């Protein structure tokens, strides 16, 4: 297990797909991310876990060029995300959490749009859109407007939009939320094959079981700080990841209130 | 149980206000406005006590009928129904139907419209306090009338709930609602003239109306005061039966709604239809243009403003028939150009967080700006040309055409350029994606007003050359100035258009993440 602090962050080697150094962000008086340094080795399936409000989404947003950090740098395959955003974004496929989609487009149109925005060739886009729709099991609903999709279908179409340009690094924020088990298994096999062929995947989640089974590396984030990072076996230290996580983050809290519910 | 439902409603209201101080301000303004209207109506009704029985009867019955009609129609069309006590949310609780109905009905009275209606209705008692019996009859009528309002609204919303949950219905009703709103002036004026033309019409109309469920409860006080107890009895019976029937319908509908939650899913549609994406060039700018044009057609927040355009000549022509001079029609083309060009000044705000896709794909700012501006131009240009030519044909004064066209095109091109800059830098409060075009969320009102106001000032300054040339044309009558206006409008306009697109693109490249952070606040 390693717990790097900002000053002893490892050097970004050529093998790092993503290298964060001292990333920090403050919203008003709340410090959302408090100096996170992290190395994601190329070709790894990397899980980021943490309780709600830990700063996972904020960190990933800063790493992918969606949110400008107050301090720190993010480097993707040797390209600084904030110095050369266009080059860096070409290397990344991003599935942000909690953002809307252009949902008045049909599913097919949305993926096509994502491809064309990246300046891809029309024929290539058309071919990949068909395959992605099939892989996500959305062929039957390709012409339905995304606004009429269920939550899981929406997640899948957003994931497809992030894959269309064959990125070297995939950053997926909560990719399995609301996705049915069959689709989740399909997506996981897609991602496994992607990693096997040299791609890097970063997923955030708070389903420990999933991360333990799926990922080879994991980082634990809480209250805006990195608590642990390394291979899954290093981090869990002989325990299950869930137990180790609760131990790292701190115990349960008891929920009070809701008495009015009993007056019926 | 009923008390619980009422307390829940009050708590929800209070917590809603606590969420943001702006909501409180909005509520306070709405409250003050309602208070003003209610006070005026209450005073009018009290003063009507001294008026003749026919006048008072007419006023009370007409007003009451309008209230019932309003409660029945507005919740459906405006799709802005107060759903805080949505019956669907109680499906998991086993609440006895009777108590549920009573609780929901009384809950419907809490809130500004309910309280206002109740207060005004109760002051009809003052109008008819010309004896014990008329006052009692008016009190009974007022209670029946208000209950009819609430139960009607509940019945109608429950009946249309599954319909209203479908996106297509919401979209269409929002656009349809735009039409009477734009034509409000002409409609009110027309109705007003019709009424003043025939003085005997209103009492006659009231008599018929008072035999319908709309007017019956409100006629009780007047009938007793004018010595028509038999009529009053029949109308009382009618009102009670109607209220009972409505409540029974509501109960049936509610029972059904509770076990069959609204199904919002649209039918499955296979792909293969790329729409505009297959037609327009497969470049980033072309894709943005295709996406924007698709939104102009599919998103009611955009298409709502498209509906306004064909109604513009109607409104201006109506003004002409009122005043006898059609001079205001000269503003048709420039006004349409302004509205359309300015409509994309909040484009990123309309995208809301969906803008993250543009940021994530790293599309260049210039392509983003150009696509949006060209999308607007594809239909704005024909509209401006048609309006200018139409005006020239209407007046028969073809010598004024070059000047008109020059100013309109100047406003259109310059405005699109300016909008491209404005929406790349500032966000304003707009209805959220999927919401009704009339529902603006609370937010930074100050910045919204400042952006709109300063933006328009800048636009005026930028089209000053065209304006000055047009004035010269009008004063000297020399058509050369007209042609010069046209040249200036096209050349200067296009230069400013391209400059705006480039500057906006540059700002977007530099500040994309900050812009996304700004729209994230408002989701």
The chain-wide mean pLDDT, for chain B, equals 83
CB B357 within 8 A of CB B432: no
For the stretch B101-127, pLDDT in tens is: 888 788 777 777 788 889 899 898 888
Alpha-carbon span A111 to A90, nearest angstrom:
16
Q: Are residues B175 and B210 in the same domain?
A: yes
Mutate to test the interface with A, among B287, B295, B299 (most CBs of A within 10 A): B287
Q: What is the mean pLDDT of residues B94-98?
A: 73
Q: Are residues B254 and B286 in the same domain?
A: no
CA B421 and chain centroid, separation: 28
Whose structure tokens read 């008692």? B125
All residues of chain B having their beta carbon less than 8 Å from the beta carbon of residue A140 are 268, 270
Q: What is the mean pLDDT of residues B283-308?
A: 88
pLDDT at B82 over 60: no
DSSP state of A106: B
Helix crossing, B332-342 with B445-462: angle to 10°? 130
Query: What is the nearest CA distance from B353 to chain A, expressed in angstroms?
Result: 5
Q: Are residues B255 and B280 in the same domain?
A: no
The predicted pLDDT at position A74 comes to 94
Cβ under 8 Å to B: A residues 155-194: 161-162
The two tokens of residue B146 are 């208000």
CA angle in degrees (0–180, nearest 5) for B272-B276-B277: 70
Q: What is the mean pLDDT of residues B187-207?
A: 72
The predicted pLDDT at position B523 comes to 57
Mutate to test the interface with B, among A76, A81, A117, A159 (most CBs of B within 10 A): A117
Beta carbons of A148 and B167 less than 8 Å apart:
yes
All residues of chain A having their beta carbon less than 8 Å from the beta carbon of residue B351 are 102
Please give the residue of chain A at the shortest CA–CA distance from B266.
Answer: A148
Residues contacting B504, CB < 8 A, separation 6+: B365, B369, B420, B421, B422, B423, B424, B425
The predicted pLDDT at position B302 comes to 86
Query: What is the nearest CA distance from A199 to chain B, expressed in angstroms?
Result: 18
B19-23 long-range contacts (CB < 8 A, ≥24 apart) are B20/B442, B22/B442, B22/B443, B22/B445, B23/B442
Domain with B369, as residue range(s), is 276-521
Residue A264 lies in a domain: no
All residues of chain B having their beta carbon less than 8 Å from the beta carbon of residue A143 are 269-273
Residue B264 lies in a domain: no
B10 touches chain A (CB under 8 A): no
CB B125 within 8 A of CB B142: yes
For the stretch B493-519, pLDDT in tens is: 999 999 999 999 999 999 999 999 888
Please give the residue of chain A at the shortest CA–CA distance from B165.
Answer: A148
Cβ under 8 Å to A: B residues 412-451: 433-434
The predicted pLDDT at position A2 comes to 43
The predicted pLDDT at position A115 comes to 94
Helix crossing, B300-323 with B184-197: angle to 10°? 40
Query: What is the nearest CA distance from B513 to chain A, expressed in angstroms?
Result: 5
CA dist list (Å): B134 to B49, B140, B225, B242, B488: 12, 10, 5, 22, 73
Q: Which of B204, B227, B259 is the last residue of a domain?
A: B259
A57 touches chain B (CB under 8 A): no
Whose structure tokens read 């420039």? B334
- CATH number, residue A90: 3.40.50.300
CB B315 within 8 A of CB B182: yes
Judged by average pLDDT, the poorest of A32-46, A118-132, B61-75, B458-472 is B61-75
Q: How confident is the model at residue B80 (pLDDT cuts 50, 70, 90)?
A: very low
B275 touches chain A (CB under 8 A): yes
Q: How confident is the model at residue B5 (pLDDT cuts 50, 70, 90)?
A: confident
Residue A134 lies in a domain: no
Please name which of B256, B291, B225, B306 lies closest in space to residue B53, comparing C-alpha atoms.
B225
3-state SS class at A257: coil
Q: Are residues B318 and B231 in the same domain?
A: no
Residue B156 lies in a domain: yes
Give the DSSP letter string of B329-386: GGGHHHHHHHHHHHGGGGHHHHHGGGGHHHHHHT--HHHHHHHHHHHHHHHHHHHHHH
The predicted pLDDT at position B442 comes to 58
Cβ under 8 Å to B: A residues 18-47: none
CB A177 within 8 A of CB A183: no
Query: What is the nearest CA distance from A255 to chain B, expressed in angstroms?
Result: 20
3-state SS class at A246: helix
Beta carbons of B4 and A263 less than 8 Å apart:
yes
All residues of chain A having their beta carbon less than 8 Å from the beta carbon of residue B434 are 103, 147
Residue from the list A102, A125, A139 with its beta carbon closest to the beta carbon of B271 = A139
Q: Are residues B430 and B357 in the same domain?
A: yes
Beta carbons of A68 and B514 less than 8 Å apart:
yes
Q: Are residues B39 and B127 in the same domain?
A: yes
Domain with A92, as residue range(s), is 14-99+168-250
Q: Are residues B135 and B51 in the same domain?
A: yes
State how many domains chain A has: 1
What percent of chain B is predicted at pLDDT more than 70?
83
Please give the residue of chain B at the shortest CA–CA distance from A98.
Answer: B353
B191 touches chain A (CB under 8 A): no
All residues of chain A having their beta carbon less than 8 Å from the beta carbon of residue B437 are none
Q: Are residues B293 and B226 in the same domain?
A: no
Please give the residue of chain A at the shortest CA–CA distance from B167.
Answer: A148
Please name which of B125, B60, B68 lies closest in space to residue B242, comparing C-alpha atoms.
B68
Residue A28 lies in a domain: yes
pLDDT at B51 over 90: no
Judged by average pLDDT, the poorest of A15-24, A141-150, B50-59, B170-179 is B170-179
B37 touches chain A (CB under 8 A): no
A32 has which bridge partners?
Answer: none
For the stretch B232-274, pLDDT in tens is: 899 999 999 999 999 888 888 877 777 665 554 456 677 667 8
For the stretch B385-418, pLDDT in tens is: 999 999 999 888 888 899 999 999 999 999 999 9
Beta carbons of A264 and B274 less than 8 Å apart:
no
The predicted pLDDT at position B159 comes to 75
Please give the residue of chain A at the shortest CA–CA distance from B518.
Answer: A67
Q: Are residues B389 and B487 in the same domain?
A: yes
Q: What is the mean pLDDT of residues B363-380?
A: 94
Beta carbons of B357 and A117 less than 8 Å apart:
yes
CB B311 within 8 A of CB B331: no
| ipTM for the whole complex | 0.86
Residue A186 lies in a domain: yes
Please give the residue of chain B at the shortest CA–CA distance from A68.
Answer: B513
Beta carbons of A118 and B517 less than 8 Å apart:
no
Beta carbons of A100 and B282 less than 8 Å apart:
no
State how many domains chain B has: 2
Residue B269 lies in a domain: no
Please name which of B211, B213, B228, B221 lies closest in space to residue B48, comparing C-alpha atoms.
B221
Residue A54: phi, psi to the nearest 5? -80, -20
CB A146 within 8 A of CB A154: yes
Residue B480 lies in a domain: yes
The predicted pLDDT at position A7 comes to 41
How many other CB atoms are found less than 10 A from the CB of residue B423?
A: 28
The predicted pLDDT at position B195 comes to 66
The two tokens of residue B473 are 């044309």
Q: Are residues B46 and B185 in the same domain?
A: yes
Alpha-carbon span B217 to B141, nearest angstrom:
5
Q: Are residues B239 and B204 in the same domain?
A: yes
Alpha-carbon span B284 to B371, nearest angstrom:
8
Q: Are residues B176 and B137 in the same domain?
A: yes
Q: How confident is the model at residue B19 (pLDDT cuts 50, 70, 90)?
A: low
For the stretch A154-165, pLDDT in tens is: 989 999 999 999
From the first residue on, what is the mean pLDDT of each consecutive set of 10 residues in chain A (264 residues)? 42 72 90 92 92 88 93 93 92 91 92 94 92 90 88 90 92 87 86 91 88 91 90 87 84 62 67
Please give the residue of chain B at the shortest CA–CA distance from A134.
Answer: B271
The predicted pLDDT at position B327 comes to 77
Residue B111: phi, psi to the nearest 5? 125, 165
């Amino acid at each position: 297990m390693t717990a790097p602090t900002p000053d002893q962050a490892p050097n970004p080697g050529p093998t790092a797909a993503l290298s964060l150094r001292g990333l920090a962000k403050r919203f008003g008086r709340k410090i959302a991310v408090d100096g996170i340094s992290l190395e994601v080795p190329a070709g790894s399936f990397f899980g980021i876990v943490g309780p709600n409000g830990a700063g996972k989404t904020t960190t990933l947003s800063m790493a992918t060029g969606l949110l400008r950090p107050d301090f720190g740098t993010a480097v993707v395959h040797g390209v600084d995300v904030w110095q050369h955003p266009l080059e860096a974004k070409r290397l990344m496929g991003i599935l942000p959490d909690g953002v809307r989609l252009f949902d008045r487009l049909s599913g097919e149109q949305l993926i096509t749009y994502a491809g064309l925005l990246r300046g891809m060739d029309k024929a290539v886009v058309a071919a990949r859109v068909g395959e992605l729709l099939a892989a996500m099991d959305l062929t039957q609903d390709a012409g339905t407007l995304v606004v009429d999709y269920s939550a899981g279908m929406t997640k899948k179409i957003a994931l497809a939009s992030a894959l269309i340009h064959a990125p070297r690094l995939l950053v997926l924020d909560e990719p399995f939320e609301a996705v049915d088990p069959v689709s989740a298994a399909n997506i996981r096999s897609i991602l496994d094959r992607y990693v096997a062929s040299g791609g890097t995947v970063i997923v955030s989640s708070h389903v420990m079981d999933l991360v333990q089974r799926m990922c080879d590396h994991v980082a634990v984030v809480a209250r805006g700080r990195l608590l642990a990072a390394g291979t899954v076996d290093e981090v869990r230290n002989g325990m299950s990841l869930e137990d180790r996580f609760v131990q790292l983050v701190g115990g349960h809290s008891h929920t009070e209130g809701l008495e009015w519910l009993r007056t019926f | 149980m009923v008390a619980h439902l009422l307390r829940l409603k009050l708590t929800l209201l209070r917590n809603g206000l606590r969420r943001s101080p702006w909501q409180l301000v909005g509520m306070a303004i709405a409250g003050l406005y309602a208070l003003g209207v209610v006070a005026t109506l209450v005073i009018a009704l009290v003063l009507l006590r001294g008026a003749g029985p026919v006048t008072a009867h007419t006023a009370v019955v007409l007003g009451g009928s309008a209230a019932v009609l309003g409660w029945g129609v507005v919740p459906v069309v405006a799709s802005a129904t107060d759903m805080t006590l949505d019956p669907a949310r109680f499906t998991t609780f086993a609440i006895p139907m009777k108590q549920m109905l009573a609780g929901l009905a009384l809950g419907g009275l809490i809130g500004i419209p309910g309280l206002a209606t109740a207060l005004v209705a109760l002051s009809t008692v003052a109008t008819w306090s010309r004896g014990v019996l008329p006052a009692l009859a008016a009190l009974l009528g007022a209670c029946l009338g208000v209950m009819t309002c609430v139960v009607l609204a509940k019945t109608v919303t429950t009946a249309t709930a599954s319909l209203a949950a479908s996106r297509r219905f919401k979209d269409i009703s929002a656009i349809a609602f735009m039409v009477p709103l734009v034509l409000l002036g002409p409609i009110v004026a027309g109705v007003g003239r019709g009424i003043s033309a025939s003085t005997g019409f209103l009492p006659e109309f009231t008599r018929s109306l008072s035999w319908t469920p709309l007017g019956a409860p409100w006629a009780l006080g007047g009938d007793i005061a004018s010595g028509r107890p038999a009529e009053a009895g029949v109308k009382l019976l009618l009102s009670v039966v109607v209220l009972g029937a409505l409540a029974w319908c509501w109960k049936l509908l509610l029972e059904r709604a509770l076990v069959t939650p609204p199904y919002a899913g649209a039918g499955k549609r296979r792909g293969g239809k790329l729409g505009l994406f297959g037609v327009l060039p497969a470049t980033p700018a072309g894709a943005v243009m295709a996406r924007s044009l698709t939104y102009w057609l599919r998103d009611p927040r955009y298409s709502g403003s498209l509906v306004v355009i064909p109604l513009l000549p109607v409104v201006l022509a109506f003004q002409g028939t009122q005043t006898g001079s059609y001079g205001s029609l000269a503003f048709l083309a420039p006004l349409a150009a302004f509205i359309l060009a300015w409509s994309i000044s909040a484009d990123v705000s309309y995208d809301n967080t969906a803008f993250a896709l543009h940021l994530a794909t790293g599309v260049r700012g210039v392509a983003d700006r150009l696509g949006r501006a060209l999308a607007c131009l594809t239909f704005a240009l024909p509209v401006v040309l048609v309006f200018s030519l139409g005006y020239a044909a209407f007046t028969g004064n073809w010598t004024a055409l070059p000047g008109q066209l020059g100013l309109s095109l100047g406003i259109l091109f310059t405005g699109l350029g300016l909008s491209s800059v404005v929406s790349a830098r500032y966000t304003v409060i707009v209805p959220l994606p999927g919401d009704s075009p009339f529902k603006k969320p609370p937010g930074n009102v100050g910045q919204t007003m400042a952006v709109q106001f300063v933006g328009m000032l800048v636009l005026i300054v930028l089209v000053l050359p065209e304006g000055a040339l047009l004035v010269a044309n009008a004063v000297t009558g020399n058509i050369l100035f007209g042609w010069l206006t046209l040249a200036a409008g096209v050349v200067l306009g296009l230069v400013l258009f391209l400059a705006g697109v480039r500057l906006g693109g540059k700002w977007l490249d530099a500040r994309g993440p900050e812009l996304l952070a700004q729209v994230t606040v408002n989701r």
